[in-house]
Amino acid sequence: MARMEFMTQLKKELRKKNVAEQEDYIWQYNELLDDYMEHGMTEMEAIRKVGKPEEIAQEIKENQEEVYVMRSSVGLKIGISVLLILGLPLWGSLLLTVILLVGIAYFLIWLIPFIAGLIGGSLLVGSCAIFIAVPFIMSNGLPNFLCSLGIGLLMFGSAVFCILTTIMMCRFFAHLSVQLSKRFLQLFKRRVMIR
């Protein structure tokens, strides 16, 4: 079974079983197949590992949580609003702390490739400066010329290494940031049915 056929069958099974948020599950299983193939599996192996669309749809349908909420009266809504306003100094500061901690985590994650990029850029500028100065250094003798040329080549090679490492780290950290964001947002995701 090819990937497109698998995804089409999964979509049909989810629709047949009347599963909520079908597009999210389609996207999730598409990403799962991508992850398996990135780790060396073929398309067919990844599809076999994920399972049959009928079984997946049945499992999703059985595992869906439904929280039933009774409609609240106007007095209850006013009471909750008053409690939220009075509790703002407590929950507001906790919410701000969580937001700042998440922001700091993302800042620290992206600080590593930023520093590697800065080092690569400064090595590149330094090697260009040495290459520009090499003709002037040649007048001081052959050993000075060869030493400066070697240092320039070493700096240029290190710059290329740092820049390539920065690009690879950016790809990795972008993927990591997306995964962390998805997991963080799933903490707050809940299905609610109002009666």
Read off the pLDDT of residues 112-143 as tens digits, 9 standing for 90 and up.
999 999 999 999 999 999 999 888 888 888 88
3-state secondary structure of 88: helix
pLDDT digits (tens, 9 = 90+) for 57-83: 888 887 775 544 556 678 888 888 888
Domain range summary for the chain, segments of one domain joined by +: 3-64, 95-189
Residue 94 parent element (H or E): helix 88-138
pLDDT, tens digit, 9 for 90 and up, residues 7-32: 889 889 888 888 878 888 888 888 88
pLDDT, tens digit (0-9, with 9 covering 90-100), for 130-177: 999 888 888 888 888 899 989 999 999 999 999 999 999 999 999 988
Question: How much is the pLDDT for 118?
Answer: 95
